[in-house]
Structure 1
Amino acid sequence: MSDNYGDIVSEGKSLKERFIELEIEYQAMQAYNYGNYDEYKWTDEEKLQQLSSYTNEYRDEIASWFADLDEMFADLADLPDPASLISAAEGLEPALVQLAGPIGQVDLGNGVQYPPQPNFSRLPSMENYLVDWNGVAADNFKSNYLPKFAAVAHHEFHAVASLKSALLAAAEMWKQARLDVSNIIDECNSALDDYDGGKDSADAVMALGIIGAIVAVAAVPFTGGSSAVLYWTLAGSALTVTGAVVGNPPEPKKELDIKGDSPAEICQSLREGISDMKIQWIEDEAFIRDQLYRLSDTISGYSSPSGSDGEPRPRYPYYGGYTSDHTYSEDTVHGFVLPRPSLADLGPGNVRGGFGQPEV
């Protein structure tokens, strides 16, 4: 096995030429003496003459059987770059540091511990600084804002960690996809080696690296009496987290079998293997997409209808909005973003007295 992804197009062209040459030989053997040159004691020179004649007459036609390989490998050479996804995930690190809160947090996706954020150490003594501040706004700030601030940071930390995990899951998926593309070319050449070496039937089994991008799931408890549960995706199947279970991607194929009794059959087996890989990529991408939809739904205050069977259903956007029977909860929204104080936007032009009249 090799990681030659950067050379996919040239490797594909070489494989295509090998298919053409071996298929020409195969068809020539079928055309002359029903595939058995030795039955009529042909000399090597006569065999070469017959093969040359057959090649001149049928090469273009046989080459057309494999013409689709150029586009197929050009498409496979343009898979997403895992490095850009990893870079985006790493760009979230500063936010996780700031949201670690007064007691610190653990990123469940990779087990990294974030120490307490020093700025939160001042929260317990904040009321001492506001002792002379009285009134409705003061009471609301002291009762409803300060006590919930740390909990909101906790939820925001895990929401950001969830986004990071989804990015890393996608990066790992495309990293393995690129490796699988490289390996399937190697396995196809191995099958052609078997055929060219005189085996009756070529057969090369390839173990797939794509194993389903994400598996573990977890639940974050909310404050404020909300029963909503936040679902997020974790990169790394070794981690087991107790919580609400969201289904995994469809079970992927563990291996591909590149085989056939002729070069054309081996090539068709290659096409089918690549099709199977692409289907798995689509399913894994859809799984990551739905996990992000669920995360977005929860942050926006939406949860699946009560009594829904199976895993939580995301709200799918469509042109003009959403069609959904999900339940909306403002308390859930406030688990991530505290309500904006009523006085936040007031100024000399809109401050009013107790009877709704502008102050003079």
Structure 2
Amino acid sequence: MTYEQLSQHVADIQQSALVFALRSQEVTYDEKTKTYHDYISDIQVDPPTRETTGQFEVVAELFEPFYRMPDPAELRVLRGWVASAAAKLNHDGAEISVDSGFVGSNPQLGKMDAIASLISDWDGFAAMEFHENFLGHWPHVTANQFSIALALVGMVEAEAALWEQARLDVCDIAHAAQTAMDAVGDCRAEDVQFTLNVFSSIFSLSTLVVPQAEMALTLVGEVAAVAGATPVGDKKEGKFTGQSPEEIIDEIRASLDELTRRINASEDKVRESADYALGILATHQDKFTSPRPALADGTRANIKDDNDGFGRPIG
């Protein structure tokens, strides 16, 4: 069963509940002809009343919110875009592994490292200002920017992992519910188990430090993609034990509520990482931007030395 087949699977669960309820009225359902028959005479009878069918429509209502979950494939495309942006800020020259892929480097940005040697013989006030306020901070500023970009890569990767697992989990619930519903009334039926893995697919990693960066950021990502990653939560085993359609529907409701809780808990972990990164940006803006060199706006008319007048325009 795939996620795209979820709505049909839910309809099958609802139909199985209805078929069992009709047994008490000595009515059977022919799957091939989609018709209803008297159990004893096998004569075709009218379809069940709205009152009978309506009591099981809650099954579709319970699953309905899960039909609109984000597409993990689209999030992984977004991850590629964010990783590409991060690569433009990586001037260290080495690829960095983040979750399920690598973030490249920008050779052009790395050429700034050669500037120091090219202007090593510069002297004077302007040269000192350029060295101290701009060139000396350049590696740290770009490394700090790169750290934030890597945190964003991890957040998007975590979101993709979350919703990929959520889709698998809701399908697992539906499949187990269908099996349990089909077995209602069978004295030999066994409990039907399922597993919720959403919470255990996200991890929190706080030890990633970019070379020359002045701070470490908490990074969230996909636990399966990083060796040694620690899940923020455990998987949860569940099972259907109901002996009637109503009992199984109650178990479906409880299972979907638990899945929702685990999705929200995972989202909270991603949100915490985002809030932390935003907090650092808000309180340490000077760590992420370089002062604009005064000479950058200089022209022949306004570049001058206050001591000896050098640079003043003639006249």
Q: Same fold (TM over 0.5)?
A: yes
Distance 2:271 2:43 in 1: 54
Instruction: Give the equivalent residue in structure 1 for 2:33.
Output: none
The residue type equivalent to 1:11 in the other structure is H
Matched, 1:205 2:197: no
> What are the within-5 Å matches in structure 2 for residues 223-234 of structure 1?
229-234=216-221
Matched, 1:294 2:281: no
Distance 1:349 1:300 in 2: 37
> What are the within-5 Å matches in structure 2 for residues 1-360 of structure 1?
2=1, 4-25=2-23, 27-28=24-25, 48=40, 59-110=49-100, 112=102, 114=104, 117=107, 119-129=109-119, 131-132=121-122, 134-196=123-185, 198-199=186-187, 203-219=191-207, 220=209, 229-236=216-223, 238-240=226-228, 249=232, 251-301=233-283, 332-341=284-293
8 A contact 2:200–2:235 mirrored in 1:
no
Distance 2:49 2:104 in 1: 65
Compute the displacement of 1:88 (Å): 0.9
Distance 1:265 1:340, change over 3 A: same
Compute the displacement of 1:349 (Å): 10
Count of residue correspondences: 296
The residue type equivalent to 1:62 in the other structure is T
Indicate the larger mover: 69-78 or 168-177: 69-78
Secondary structure of the 1:260 match is: coil
Compute the displacement of 1:236 (Å): 2.2
Distance 1:191 1:284, change over 3 A: same
Distance 1:240 1:144, change over 3 A: farther
Q: TM-score, normalised by structure 2?
A: 0.78
Secondary structure of the 2:205 match is: strand
Secondary structure of the 1:215 match is: strand
Distance 2:38 2:152 in 1: 67
The residue type equivalent to 2:223 in the other structure is G
Distance 2:151 2:260 in 1: 25
CA RMSD of aligned residues (A): 3.7
Distance 1:346 1:142, change over 3 A: same
Which structure 2 segments of 5+ residues have no match? 27-36, 307-312
Compute the displacement of 1:20 (Å): 1.4
Secondary structure of the 1:112 match is: strand
Q: Bigger relative contact order, structure 1 or 2, given CA contacts below 8 A and separation 6+?
A: 2
Over residues 14-48 of structure 1, what are the superposed CA-to-partner deviations in whole Å (9 max), with x where a residue is unaligned? 211111121232x558xxxxxxxxxxxxxxx9963
Secondary structure of the 2:70 match is: coil
Distance 1:271 1:51, change over 3 A: farther
Distance 1:292 1:113, change over 3 A: closer
8 A contact 1:195–1:202 mirrored in 2:
no
Compute the displacement of 1:87 (Å): 0.9
Q: TM-score, normalised by structure 1?
A: 0.69
Distance 1:48 1:136 in 2: 105
Compute the displacement of 1:273 (Å): 0.6
Over residues 140-171 of structure 1, what are the superposed CA-to-partner deviations in whole Å (9 max), with x where a residue is unaligned? 21123223212222222222111111101101
Over residues 46-76 of structure 1, what are the superposed CA-to-partner deviations in whole Å (9 max), with x where a residue is unaligned? 96379999x97x8533322222222333321
8 A contact 2:86–2:146 mirrored in 1:
yes
The residue type equivalent to 1:231 in the other structure is T
8 A contact 2:196–2:235 mirrored in 1:
yes
Which structure 1 segments of 5+ residues have no match? 30-44, 242-246, 302-331
Secondary structure of the 2:78 match is: helix
The residue type equivalent to 1:298 in the other structure is I
Distance 1:102 1:164, change over 3 A: closer
Compute the displacement of 1:203 (Å): 2.0
The residue type equivalent to 2:174 in the other structure is I
Compute the displacement of 1:188 (Å): 0.9
Distance 1:353 1:127 in 2: 25
Distance 1:216 1:282 in 2: 15
Distance 1:160 1:122 in 2: 20
Secondary structure of the 1:256 match is: strand
